[in-house]
Amino acid sequence: MGYFTISNWEADEWNEEMEAMARDQFAPLIMKLGAESVDFIQTGDLTFSVVTKYTDEASGVAATQKISEIRGQAATSLPVRMVSDVKGSAFVSG
């Protein structure tokens, strides 16, 4: 049914340049690691979540090290910081 990672972020500011970097730089990097999909979701004025889906847990776990590097790159390239993350397998999907 899929394996998901969800990271929650806070930003010091929000602008189109940040959205473009997420779309043009970070999303493709995540997809190259075997993700089926990745969604950057604005959840508040200065908050967002990144929801990444993998086909299975093995694929998600295999991407873990590189995902940590991408998260570090985002935190140094943009005025953002990750505040939490969770991961797990879906047990119901519609």
pLDDT one-digit tens code per residue, 29-40: 999 999 999 999
Q: What residues make up the domain containing 27?
A: 3-89
Number of C-beta neighbours around residue 60 at 10 A: 23
pLDDT score, position 87: 96
In the chain, the number of structural domains is: 1
In this predicted structure, what is the pLDDT of residue 33? 94
pTM of the predicted model as reported, rounded to 2 decimal places: 0.92
Q: What is the pLDDT of residue 51?
A: 98
The CATH number of the domain where 17 resides is what?
3.30.70.100
Q: Tell me the per-residue pLDDT of 8-20, one tens digit each, with 9 for 90 and over.
A: 999 999 999 999 9
Q: Is residue 32 part of a domain?
A: yes
CA angle 82, 83, 84 (to 5 degrees): 100
For residue 39, is it within any domain? yes
